[in-house]
Structure 1
Amino acid sequence: MANRYALRMELPQSWTIIDVFTGQPAVVRQRVMVGMSPRDAEDMVVQMNVRDVKRRERAERKS
């Protein structure tokens, strides 16, 4: 299953998490995932992709 979220460097030490399906910055709890430190962005993108895979697997089982 393809990862939904990826990182894009905006400036040195400033990263954005993008939704690869839409090409837009990801939004979590009404917060746009832009201007993040490299470490925070890496940690968050891993968590978001794990959650998304689990969500899609549940949806496939229900179909």
Structure 2
Amino acid sequence: MPNRYALRREQAQSWTIVDVFTGQPAVLKQRVLVGMSTRDADDMVVRMNVLDIKRREKADRKS
């Protein structure tokens, strides 16, 4: 299953989490995930992909 979220470097030490399905910056709790530090972006993209995979697997089981 492909990851839904990826990192895009905007400037030195500034990252955006991108929804690879839409090409748009990801939004979490009404916050657009742009201008993040390397560490925060790395951690968040892993968490978001894990949650998305779990959500899609759950949806597949219901189908």
Q: TM-score, normalised by structure 2?
A: 1.00
Misfit runs of 4+, over 2 Å? none
Shift of 1:57: 0.1
Counterpart of 1:33, as a letter, is: L
Aligned residue pair count: 63
Q: TM-score, normalised by structure 1?
A: 1.00
Question: In the TM superposition, what whole-angstrom CA distance separates every residue of 1:15-59 from its partner, at most 9, and x where no partner exists?
Answer: 000000000000000000000000000000000000000000000
Shift of 1:7: 0.1
Counterpart of 2:46, as a letter, is: V
Q: Secondary structure at the match of 2:21?
A: coil
Listed as ranges, the gaps of 5+ residues in structure 2 are none
Listed as ranges, the gaps of 5+ residues in structure 1 are none
Give the corresponding residue for 1:15.
15
Alignment of 1:21-40 (within 5 A): 21-40=21-40
CA RMSD of aligned residues (A): 0.1
Task: Give the percent of matched residue pairs that are identical in Structure 1 and Structure 2.
Answer: 76
